[in-house]
Amino acid sequence: MALIVQKYGGTSVGSTERIQAVAEKVKRYHDEGNQVVVVVSAMSGETNRLVALAEEITARPSAREMDVLLSTGEQVTIALLSMALHALGKNARSYTGGQVHIRTDSSHSKARILDIDGERVKADLDAGRIVVVAGFQGTDEQGNITTLGRGGSDTTAVAMAAALDADECQIFTDVDGVYTTDPRVEPNARKLDRITFEEMLELASSGSKVLQIRSVEFAGKYNVPLRVLSSFEEGEGTLITLEEEDVEKAKIAGIAFSRDEAKLTIRGVPDHPGVAYQILGPIGEANIEVDMIVQNIGKDDTTDFTFTVHRNDLDEALDILHKTADELGAREVESDDRIVKIALVGVGMRSHAAIASNMFKALAKEQINIQMISTSEIKVSVIVDEKYLELGVRTLHEAFGLDRVEG
Amino acid sequence: MALIVQKYGGTSVGSTERIQAVAEKVKRYHDEGNQVVVVVSAMSGETNRLVALAEEITARPSAREMDVLLSTGEQVTIALLSMALHALGKNARSYTGGQVHIRTDSSHSKARILDIDGERVKADLDAGRIVVVAGFQGTDEQGNITTLGRGGSDTTAVAMAAALDADECQIFTDVDGVYTTDPRVEPNARKLDRITFEEMLELASSGSKVLQIRSVEFAGKYNVPLRVLSSFEEGEGTLITLEEEDVEKAKIAGIAFSRDEAKLTIRGVPDHPGVAYQILGPIGEANIEVDMIVQNIGKDDTTDFTFTVHRNDLDEALDILHKTADELGAREVESDDRIVKIALVGVGMRSHAAIASNMFKALAKEQINIQMISTSEIKVSVIVDEKYLELGVRTLHEAFGLDRVEG
């Protein structure tokens, strides 16, 4: 008998028929002798409906009241799913985030889970009940309703699994697992049976949208085995676990990419200690996230400094950078939003320095010019012209043999 | 500076425009220097939408989960109203029933309020905030969400007013006050400036639908001055208070009536002690509420027994009564659902025995046959053929001078 936490997203519970289908699925796991906790999102469309109501009232709704409003979405789903389980003869009970003491900080709309009291849930499980918990929400120390932000239901599920010391946390989505890369770009993309937390994190942060980053971090931190699988199809999905022993061969997990990149360059900055901070400080203060950063020594004791931001933030970053350039006496400011990022991810990379150079070689063979490079322990990212996205992904997918089954 | 609790029902908050209008109204009271707590219902239509979702899932939803589902309706309204108040520059904060500790018993869908902790609300009021509270809901001792049943928002408002020792509890509805009788039946019906709790209770229990009975009982018990007024028009409404001193003259407050009546008669029951219980016991066990009861001695030491029930319960009551008749050896069972109840209500009745006879005289003059009579301290009710409803109401309205302004 295992204790399983399952999470079903908005599409999976998008209609009463689908909620009934989820109930059937949950019932099967429970019939097999497992204890099951189900975490659900709002029915798809519901959050948008609520946001539209708020927008009819005011252009700037308070974050606290927005959380009160949006948290009703999951509350509707937990009630309906519990009813559907009752209709199948199962004993089930629903709880809001507050009711099972999902305690968060007070950052409305992007709260972080501090603590979960699993006692009430455990008592229900021991009594043979299926427990249905509202994802995405909690309450702060004063009892105010908070939400974890979009996608936060994944985090609720993982945190609940950690609190209950669950055997597995299963995230049901509309894809059947984690792929070596996006199958819409590379038809030979292959579903992975297993992947490590670190690899999953790097894939997610490089644009692969299967799971919310924070939930993967959480799962890694508390070592909760995490499985991604399809709500609509049968299958084992992809299991995300701690590093496996068998990583000696240069194993690449997959290729992530992001189209939402823009690049800014400030040229001819008089070089002195602290110049990086002077350039990036004002960007950070404007809450603009900077991804890749490259600094080159230019001619005449000046330096060239390039960094990437999300494409939506380009205009604002550019305004700020122009001001900084004036203050620093820089020569010029350039920008380019027709770039993409491609990243090779794999824990095997650590012990195989050759991977980066093989990557560059494969791209060079196809005449793909690399504009920026950034490396981490288990990832190599490159910035290239956006017209090379598909070619670059397919070239690397083949060069590293990702279409072949793992050894 | 007064402390006012206001309650706005589903029609008053039926759209975002109306919620904004409510916010304007609340702001005016607050601008005048009052402390204001607002209790709101779900937006009209929302409860039906949620019920329909549940019905798509199962024909017999559990009462606990139904409460989890339906309580989201008010939660949406409190968030939107708070946002609308913010947009008008007011400091406002929303609370669900559970958040302000509206503690109830565990009777899901018809819970009773046991206790309210007003401390959190008081702290907000003292900080200059308008407090917006979800009506109709609370939590039981275990933290389960409960609802008070339809119309329960009135009760929430009154209970909140009692807990806060408020100066007045104002119930905003789609009528502008309490009338001497239904203006659709008697065009000369007059709005009352004041009425006593007892009169209001009798009016409500006799079919006048302005306020939920339980909320009036509660207001009477805790002596909370209650005012009924219109959401849509200006005006002072009707104030419901403790008995006034000036009741010596035979004051009739109004005339209530109900079309939902049905009458059952069992004839020729061998008379012996306990026969009333033998007849009504099985009816009560079936949860059918009995209103008026009349027992007459018939011929041959047998008795005739007549009582009224809600028209919807007639068929079930008739089945039960037929069985009872067989057991008791009664002669026959009759029923009539083409009857109505008309009731004259007023605290002045206590000291004026002549009122009942004046009532019967006025009806007799119009050839209206009285089928049953029942009297309480401040009410005289009669059952008549339904074709006499309008004529009966108008006749009594004129006979007791209710169209004339109170002296």
Q: Is the pLDDT of residue A319 over 90?
A: yes
Same domain, A274 and A131: no
Known binding residues of B: 7-10, 47, 74, 173-174, 179, 184, 209-210
Can you give the CATH number for the domain in which B304 is found? 3.30.2130.10
Contact B75 A96 (CB under 8 A): no
Same domain, A156 and A263: no
Same domain, B271 and B153: no
Residue where one domain finishes, among candidates B174, B192, B211: B174
In a domain, B345, yes or no: yes
* From B62, B84, B99, residue closest to A57, measured CB to CB: B84
Same domain, A260 and A169: no
In a domain, B277, yes or no: yes
Please, which residues 341-380 of chain B have a Cβ atom closer than 8 Å to chain A?
none
pLDDT at B52: 97
B259 C-beta neighbours (distance < 10 Å), count: 11
In a domain, A36, yes or no: yes
Known binding residues of B for ATP: 7-10, 173-174, 179, 184, 209-210
Distance between CA atoms of residues A84 and A86, nearest Å = 5
Distance between CA atoms of residues A53 and B9, nearest Å = 18
Residue where one domain finishes, among candidates B113, B140, B174: B174
pLDDT at A247: 46
Q: Which residues of B touch A72 (CB under 8 A)?
A: 72, 75-76
* From A69, A80, A86, residue closest to B76, measured CB to CB: A69
- Six-digit token string for A204: 């997610």
> Looking at the complex, does the CB of residue B53 fall below 8 Å from at least one CB of chain A?
yes
CA angle A29, A32, A36 (to 5 degrees): 40
Q: Which residues of B touch A65 (CB under 8 A)?
A: 79-80, 82-83, 86, 94
A294 band by pLDDT with thresholds 50, 70 and 90: confident
In a domain, A279, yes or no: yes
In a domain, B146, yes or no: yes
Q: Mean pLDDT, to the nearest integer, of A91-118?
A: 94
> Looking at the complex, does the CB of residue B66 fall below 8 Å from at least one CB of chain A?
yes
Q: Is the pLDDT of residue A406 over 60?
A: no
Q: Is the pLDDT of residue A315 over 90?
A: yes
Interface-testing mutation among B13, B50, B53, with chain A (most A C-beta atoms within 10 A): B53
Per-chain mean pLDDT for chain A: 90
| Distances, alpha carbon B184 to alpha carbons A38, B189, B232, in Å | 53, 9, 19
> Looking at the complex, does the CB of residue A268 fall below 8 Å from at least one CB of chain B?
no
pLDDT at B298: 67
pLDDT at B407: 42
Q: What is the DSSP string of B237-303?
A: -EEEESPPS---S----EEEEEEEEEEEEEEEEEP-TTHHHHHHHHHHHTTPPEEEEEEEE-STTEE
> Looking at the complex, does the CB of residue B16 fall below 8 Å from at least one CB of chain A?
yes
Same domain, B164 and B268: no
> Looking at the complex, does the CB of residue A216 fall below 8 Å from at least one CB of chain B?
no
Tens-digit pLDDT profile for residues A360-372 = 889 989 999 888 8
Same domain, B164 and B280: no
pLDDT at A349: 77
Number of domains in chain B: 2
Same domain, A143 and A267: no
Distance between CA atoms of residues B155 and B113, nearest Å = 8
* Domain enclosing residue B309, as ranges: 254-399
Q: Which residues of B touch A71 (CB under 8 A)?
A: 75
> Looking at the complex, does the CB of residue B51 fall below 8 Å from at least one CB of chain A?
no
Contact A54 B79 (CB under 8 A): yes
Same domain, A168 and A258: no
In a domain, A196, yes or no: no
Q: Which residues of A touch B53 (CB under 8 A)?
A: 16, 76, 80
Minimal-distance CA residue of chain A relative to B120: A142
pLDDT over 70 percentage in chain A: 94
Same domain, B170 and B259: no
Q: What does pTM read for this prediction?
A: 0.80
Nearest CA distance, B384 vs chain A (angstrom):
45
> Looking at the complex, does the CB of residue B87 fall below 8 Å from at least one CB of chain A?
yes
Can you give the CATH number for the domain in which B137 is found? 3.40.1160.10
Same domain, A22 and A161: yes
Q: Mean pLDDT, to the nearest integer, of A93-112?
A: 94
In angstroms, how far is CA B91 from the centroid of its own chain?
33
Lowest mean pLDDT among A224-233, A379-388, B298-307: B298-307
Best CA proximity match to B66, nearest among B8, B144, B155, B159: B144
pLDDT at A407: 42
In a domain, A9, yes or no: yes
Per-residue pLDDT of chain B (407 residues; tens, 9 = 90+): 799 999 999 999 999 999 999 999 999 999 999 999 999 999 999 999 999 999 999 999 999 999 999 999 999 999 999 999 999 999 999 999 999 999 999 999 989 999 998 999 999 999 999 999 999 999 999 999 999 976 689 999 999 999 999 999 999 988 889 999 888 889 999 999 989 888 888 887 766 677 877 888 888 888 999 999 998 888 999 999 886 655 445 578 899 999 989 999 999 888 887 788 889 889 988 888 888 888 777 667 788 889 999 999 999 999 999 999 999 999 999 999 999 999 999 887 776 767 888 888 899 899 998 888 888 878 888 999 999 999 999 999 999 988 886 54
In a domain, B347, yes or no: yes
Contact B58 A96 (CB under 8 A): no
A314 band by pLDDT with thresholds 50, 70 and 90: very high
Q: Which residues of A touch B58 (CB under 8 A)?
A: 83-84, 86-87
- Top mean pLDDT of A13-22, A234-243, B113-122, B244-253 is at A13-22
- Six-digit token string for B341: 């109840």
pLDDT at B405: 64
Residue where one domain finishes, among candidates B174, B195, B212: B174
pLDDT at A248: 45
Q: For residues B368 and A356, which has the higher predicted lDDT (pLDDT)?
A: B368
Tens-digit pLDDT profile for residues A29-50 = 999 999 999 999 999 999 999 9
